[in-house]
Amino acid sequence: MRHRTGSITFLALLFLQSTATANDHNKLANFVFPSDNQITQSQFTQLTAPELNKIQNSLELPVEYCLDHVKMRIKDNMIEEWLGSFKKYDFSGDGIDDLLFISYCGGEEYRNYFWVNKDNKYYYSGLMEGTIVKLYRTPDSKSFSAVTRSGYCCLGYIGSIDLFTPEIKDGILKYKLQKRIKEFGNASISVPDKRMSSKRFIVKNDKYKLREHPVIDDKYDEYGSDFEGKPVYGNTLAEFTKGSKGIAIAEKPDNTGRVWWFVLMDEDANAIYSRFHDDANASKAGWMSSIFLEVIN
């Protein structure tokens, strides 16, 4: 009974942790990918029924299970059932409104489909999964980049902040996943308000720990270990080998004078222990003591 009660308590804590992280995802996204000239979903405009009826036969619809449903609605003249899911905004930056379709499509994450309007035809630009946090322009592009947040459904406590950047292929705007930052639990809550100039570093000690909070906690977590199916010690998220590299974007001293860095580890940094999952080609975010991190060019 003690074991079962502990597991239920742990699940409840995960739910609270997940909810808290959801409330702070804007802060983390803006901290990891700072930007000017940005917009949010509140600035999108909903398509009207006459507008949707006018353009529905101009949509390029590749084979994809969610878009197959759109094709069926068009064929049956029932496209207006999804009217609220279609938004418009000038994502390409050419002065003409483009199109966005947001739907769960039977899944657990939002699926965001983009089309660019060119010569009165809507060309498919790509799919982004998750909640769109913001879109912003970089100084070298008139088209918007996009930041999404995903992975926190179903009591999940591992999520990601994803950056999608625009590129032109055959004269059409396309979106590609540029960088994925994996975040665990409450790491975003402890992010400082101020971002420092980025520091590129290399790890100088073996089995160096990435932590959820800027404090040393190595106590064995019985319930966490049972739930995750692997040993869990305090706030340790991962252990990296000597020579692993990353970027520090904030710092915070603890009450002992130790300086902690909030870091984004490189995608190919070698973790010999990790509580993250589905993290191929993804950076891991968290806190590291700066004592054995050496700044490099």
Residue 188 predicted with pLDDT over 80:
no
Residue 187 predicted with pLDDT over 80:
no
HSE, CB side, 13 Å, CA atoms: give it for residue 25: 28
Order of strands, sheet of 86-89, starting from the edge strand that comes earlier in the sequence: 45-46, 86-89, 98-103, 111-118, 121-129
Q: What is the DSSP code string of 193-237? A: SSPPPPEEEEE-STTEEEESSSS----B-HHHHHHHTS--BTTEE
Query: Per-residue confidence at 269, pLDDT binned at 50, 70, 90?
Result: very high
Select the highest-mean-pLDDT range: 24-33, 62-71, 119-128.
Answer: 119-128
66 sits in which H/E element:
helix 65-75
